[in-house]
């Protein structure tokens, strides 16, 4: 798609010539079928972020984990059922940095339509997809990052529904997303953070929100005038249009949790909420007062105040844990690789339990598991970090758990030791939702933490923000055979190795993974 943005003409890769790509809407219980034709020059997988993929792991679209990418001019049909999920999810390319421009909303309505929402059905619904924009081909951004061995260059702007808005210098008058609303009604904002590397604040001038869901799971209503959202997460928020009729800015700016917050302040993206019949006047539109981009208090308050809405019939938190893991992750300086030609002395490496995840080359992990192919991966991912400091190893190492096991993972940011990576890391798990039982700063202490576990109404998520130098405890039931990626959703950290994989073998019949679809992409 040719696009002119921030006074720069570029060619970008999008779905159906749209930025954001098309919204996919389904009801709980539906089967979703998406035909993907790869017209780009890059191998491509598309991931349905947050979808359980019950017995359809082949369709998860995690590049080299569940499938080999769709080659240029080839195609693949993704098919999956929406089982037991309602709310806002999204889809995105899961290959290189292509997800910067190949993404869209995936909206799951209740089986019986909006009447079944656990809140008053809203008058209207507005998808808000927050993103990041580079004036460069994003694959060049990725290549540059590789050649230097560091993270990618900071983006040129933030976007709301694909557009930076009118506050981003030096190019005033860039595209502005506008939405018209009726007075004195309630709207459901379905907010998605599709940005590549940044957590965000989001506000609408003169309006407040009631959060009702996150990551497609309902929350207790939470009143706030600011939304905080990390890459990979979604927030559903009700907004009453009870302000005096007029035009109001919505705005998003960066929340930078790093202790040296100098790099990622990419300005403010804006969009406009217009009341029907209000005077045609942008000058009068008021900007919301945004938190400063280092406002950890506002961010922490939002992240840590939410609780799950427990409804009759919801599965309780499982209490008997079969696998207890401590996964310590972090960043460090490693040697430059020979192909990192612009590397200046060191390259960044990220690891989990000292394994820096390497993507397999010749087969996806799922196909390798299914066909019992030797040599593609090892099953030696440790349940806890090495007791004595060891060198980080690059490996394709998975953690095998049994079907039906209850897995508890303490996600520990190694930055408490003074290691690199003091920023928050949004850790995303494919294939499952997990309960977030507790979070804290510093080093996880099992005795202190145990009493603090929320076993009553913990948040149910697919992406949790682990505080920089802190920890989060998650628990899930491995009731879906497959190979399930768990990784940092800051894209810069993924090629550095901040990832691991859960291998879940087949359950008892009928809970067995069917064979791959006939058009399943193979590797070359
Ligand atoms: Cu939205 Cu593996 O990612």
pLDDT in tens, 241-272: 999 999 999 999 999 988 765 567 778 999 99
| Measured distance CA(414)–CA(149) in Å, rounded | 20
Ligand 1 and 493: CB distance under 6 A: no
Indicate the DSSP class of residue 15. Answer: B
pLDDT digits (tens, 9 = 90+) for 366-405: 999 999 999 999 999 999 999 887 899 999 999 999 999 9
Measured CA to CA, the distance from residue 191 to residue 67 in angstroms comes to 28
**Partners of residue 18 on adjacent β-strands:** 15
Whether 16 is covered by a domain: the verdict is no
Q: Which residue range(s) make up the domain with 435?
A: 323-504
Give me the pLDDT at residue 262, please. Answer: 59
Q: Report the alpha-carbon distance of residue 386 to residue 327 in Å, rounded.
A: 10
369, part of any domain:
yes
Q: Does residue 478 sit within a domain?
A: yes
- The number of folded domains in the chain is 1
Ligand 1 midpoint to CA 429 (Å): 8
Kindly give the distance from the C-alpha atom of residue 123 to the centroid of ligand 1, in angstroms, as a whole number: 31
DSSP state of 59: G
**47: Cβ below 6 Å to ligand 1?**
yes
Mean pLDDT of 47-72: 97
pLDDT at 8 (0 to 100)? 86
**343 alpha carbon to ligand 1 midpoint, in Å?**
28
pLDDT in tens, 271-297: 999 999 888 765 567 899 999 989 999
User: Would you say residue 289 lies in a domain?
Assistant: no
Ligand 1 atom nearest residue 49's Cα: 1
Q: 491 and 338 in contact (C-beta within 8 Å)?
A: no
ipTM exceeding 0.90? yes
Ligand 1 atom having least distance to the Cα of 50: 1
Domain membership of residue 315 (yes or no) is no
pLDDT confidence tier of residue 464, bands split at 50, 70 and 90 = very high
Output the residue whose Cα is nearest ligand 1's atom 1.
Answer: 49
Contacts of 499 (CB under 8 A, 6+ apart): 352, 357, 485, 486, 487, 488
Residue 267: its pLDDT value, please? Answer: 87
Interval 14-30: pLDDT, tens: 999 999 999 999 999 99
Contact 257, 177 (CB under 8 A): no
Q: Which two tokens stand for residue 314?
A: 């919801």
Closest residue by Cα to atom 3, ligand 1, is 49
Q: Tell me, what DSSP letter sits at residue 450?
A: H
pLDDT band with cut points at 50, 70 and 90 for residue 524 = low
**485: Cβ below 6 Å to ligand 1?**
yes
In a domain, 370, yes or no: yes
What local confidence, expressed as pLDDT, does residue 390 receive? 86
CATH number, domain with residue 429: 2.60.40.420
Task: Tell me how far the alpha carbon of residue 61 lies from the centroid of ligand 1, in angstroms.
Answer: 9
Exposure string (b/e) for 8-28, b if CB count within 10 Å is 16 or more?
Answer: eebebbbbeeebbbeebebeb
| pLDDT tens digits along 479-501 | 999 999 999 999 999 999 999 99
Between the CA of 284 and the centroid of ligand 1 the distance, in Å, is: 40
The two three-digit tokens of residue 340, written as one number: 């990192």
Ligand 1 in reach of 61 Cβ (< 6 A): no
Ligand 1 atom nearest to CA at 463 = 1
**Residue 185 pLDDT exceeds 90:** yes
Evaluate: CB of 428 within 6 angstroms of ligand 1: yes
Which residues on adjacent β-strands are paired with residue 330? 351
The three-point CA angle 322-460-351 to 5° equals 65
In a domain, 98, yes or no: no
**Mean pLDDT, rounded, of the chain:** 94
Find all residues with CB under 8 Å of 391, minimum gap 6, and list them: 354
Question: Is residue 211 over pLDDT 90?
Answer: yes
For 342, the token pair is 């612009």
pLDDT value at residue 17: 95
Ligand 1 neighbour 63 (Cβ under 6 A) = no
pLDDT digits (tens, 9 = 90+) for 307-360: 999 999 888 999 999 999 999 999 999 999 999 999 999 999 999 999 999 999
Mean pLDDT of 77-104: 96
CA 181–ligand 1 middle distance (angstroms):
32
| Closest to 420 in 3D by CA, of 482, 502, 330 | 330
Query: How many helices, marked H, and strands, marked E, lie in the chain?
Result: 4, 32
Residue 487 in contact with ligand 1 by CB distance below 6 A = yes
Does any ligand 1 atom lie closer than 6 A to the CB of residue 190? no
Q: How far apart are the CA of 238 and the centre of ligand 1, in A?
A: 26
Determine contact, residues 50/80, Cβ cutoff 8 Å: no
Task: Write the CB contacts of 91 (distance below 8 Å, at least 6 apart in sequence).
Answer: 21, 24, 34, 46, 47, 48, 49, 103, 104, 106
> SS3 for 310-327, per residue?
CCCCCCCCCCCCCEEEEE
Say how many Å lie between the CA of residue 192 and the centre of ligand 1.
13
Q: Is 190 helix (H, G, I), strand (E, B) or coil?
A: strand
Measure the N-to-C terminal CA separation of the chain; round to a whole number of Å: 28
Q: Is residue 521 part of a domain?
A: no
CA nearest to 130, candidates 178, 190, 217: 190
**Ligand 1, closest atom to CA 430?**
2
Helix residue ranges per DSSP H, 80-234? 138-148
Residues 69-93, mean pLDDT to the nearest whole number:
97
d(CA 451, CA 396): 36
What pLDDT sits at residue 137? 87
Closest ligand 1 atom, residue 99 Cα: 1
pTM over 0.95: yes
Report how far ligand 1's centroid is from the alpha carbon of 520 (Å).
Answer: 20
Quick one: which of 416, 457, 412 has its CA closest to 437?
457
Q: Is the CB of 19 under 6 A from ligand 1?
A: no
CA-CA-CA-CA torsion for 231, 465, 149, 362, nearest 10 degrees?
-80
Taking residues 75-90, report their average pLDDT: 97
């Amino acid at each position: 798609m040719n696009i002119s943005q921030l006074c720069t003409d570029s060619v970008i890769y999008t779905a159906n010539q749209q930025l954001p790509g098309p919204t996919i809407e389904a009801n709980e219980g539906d089967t979703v079928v998406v035909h993907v034709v790869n017209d780009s020059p890059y191998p491509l997988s598309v991931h349905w972020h947050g979808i359980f993929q019950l017995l359809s792991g082949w369709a998860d679209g995690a590049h080299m984990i569940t499938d080999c990418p769709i080659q240029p001019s080839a195609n693949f049909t993704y098919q999956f059922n929406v089982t037991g999920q309602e709310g806002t999810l999204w889809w995105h390319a899961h290959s290189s940095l292509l997800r910067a421009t190949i993404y869209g909303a995936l909206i799951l309505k209740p089986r019986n339509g909006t009447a079944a929402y656990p809140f008053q059905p809203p008058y209207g619904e507005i998808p808000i997809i927050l993103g990041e924009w580079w004036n460069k081909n994003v694959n060049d951004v990725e290549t540059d990052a590789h050649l230097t061995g560091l993270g990618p260059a900071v983006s040129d702007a933030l976007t709301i529904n694909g557009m930076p808005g009118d506050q981003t210098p030096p190019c005033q008058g860039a595209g502005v997303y506008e939405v018209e609303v009726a007075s004195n009604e309630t709207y459901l904002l379905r907010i998605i953070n599709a940005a590549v590397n940044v957590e965000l604040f989001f506000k609408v001038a003169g309006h407040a929100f009631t959060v009702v869901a996150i990551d497609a799971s309902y929350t207790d209503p939470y009143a706030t005038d600011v939304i905080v959202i990390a890459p990979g997460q979604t927030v559903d928020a009700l907004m009453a249009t009870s302000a005096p009729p007029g035009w109001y800015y919505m705005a998003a700016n960066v929340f930078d949790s790093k202790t040296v917050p100098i790099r990622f302040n990419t300005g403010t993206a804006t969009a406009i909420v217009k009341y029907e019949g209000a005077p045609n006047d942008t000058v009068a539109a008021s900007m919301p007062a945004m938190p400063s981009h280092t406002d950890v208090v506002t961010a922490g308050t939002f992240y840590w105040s939410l609780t799950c809405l427990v409804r009759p019939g919801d599965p309780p938190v499982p209490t008997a844990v079969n696998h207890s893991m401590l996964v310590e992750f972090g960043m460090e300086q490693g040697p430059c690789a020979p192909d990192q030609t612009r590397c200046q002395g060191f390259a960044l490496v990220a690891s989990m339990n000292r394994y820096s995840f390497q993507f397999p080359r010749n087969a996806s992990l799922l196909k390798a598991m299914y066909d019992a192919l030797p040599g593609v991966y090892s099953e030696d991912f440790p349940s806890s970090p090495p007791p004595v400091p060891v060198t980080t190893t690059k490996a394709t190492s998975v953690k095998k758990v049994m079907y039906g096991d209850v897995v508890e993972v303490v996600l520990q940011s190694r930055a408490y030791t003074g290691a690199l990576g003091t920023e928050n890391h949004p850790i995303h798990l494919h294939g499952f939702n997990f309960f977030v039982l507790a979070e804290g700063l510093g080093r996880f202490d099992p005795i202190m933490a145990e009493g603090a576990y929320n076993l009553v109404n913990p948040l149910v998520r697919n992406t949790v923000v682990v505080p920089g130098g802190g920890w989060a405890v998650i628990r899930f039931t491995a009731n879906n055979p497959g190979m399930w990626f768990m990784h940092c959703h800051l894209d810069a950290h993924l090629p550095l190795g901040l990832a691991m994989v859960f291998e879940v073998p087949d359950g008892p019949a009928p809970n067995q993974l069917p064979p791959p679809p006939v058009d399943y992409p193979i590797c070359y």
